[in-house]
Amino acid sequence: MDAGSMAALGERLHAGETLRTDDLASFAQDAFGSGILGIAWDELSLHRAVAHVDPDERHHQPYGIVHGGVWCSIVESLASVAAALQVAQDGRFVVGVSNSTDFLRAHRTGRVDAVAEPVHVGRTQQLWQVVLTRTVDGKAVARGQVRLQNVDPAALGSPEGQP
């Protein structure tokens, strides 16, 4: 998803909309995490991001359970998308500076719901908490928090010819 598309989504959210599955069809095709991880975006607002995944053998480590790196990547993806939408309409973007994910119980297959909510949305940084819960019994399998830096591209210095 390019910066213009992200900014357009951000404007809709800042106008008070909550985007649901139908609104997110094209977003889901492009947003990081959708392809390899299989993240399906269900709802986006300025107050939370909701998605789900259906882990299977592709996501397993050698002992037949979901690899912890998968949970970390899902946590990072939800927090990053949610945080980016907070600042996109201003032409800014976010970069993760810390991801701390706890693995609470083993999981093999079956739908897991993920919900990201802001702990702090500040001028320079944001902190988001993400909880991943098994749909079958409502038990959390992992939870994490991601701190992100709000970046103004105009403030970035780079040598000539370098991105």
Residues forming the active site: 76
What phi, psi does 5 have (nearest 5°)? -65, -40
Q: Which two tokens stand for residue 119?
A: 């702990």
Contact 116, 142 (CB under 8 A): no
Which of these, 95, 97, 104, 89, lies nearest to 141 by C-alpha position? 104
The alpha carbons of the chain give a radius of gyration, in whole angstroms, of: 16
Contact 117, 47 (CB under 8 A): yes
